[in-house]
Amino acid sequence: MRITQSFLLAFAIIMEIPMIMILLSPILPYGWNRLLNIVSGILLTLIQAGSLFTSSLSLQRGSPLVTDWTTP
């Protein structure tokens, strides 16, 4: 998987959805708030589920693991 500018932009927008919903929840009327929370929850769930099947390799697989948390 190549990390391109469009990938980073899409990921940034996806990360903003929960933050926007937190800011909009006290402003929106109850009906709109409920609808947008359901839609955003379904959207984020589908994105997370889709990310399980898109590639056999994870970007985290090559990262170093910290195994000894006791040493300063």
CA-to-CA distance for 43 and 46, rounded, in angstroms? 5
pLDDT at 65: 47
Q: Is the pLDDT of residue 61 over 60?
A: no
Which pTM value belongs to this model?
Answer: 0.66
Q: Is the pLDDT of residue 22 over 90?
A: yes
Q: Is the pLDDT of residue 25 over 60?
A: yes
pLDDT at 66: 45
pLDDT at 1: 64
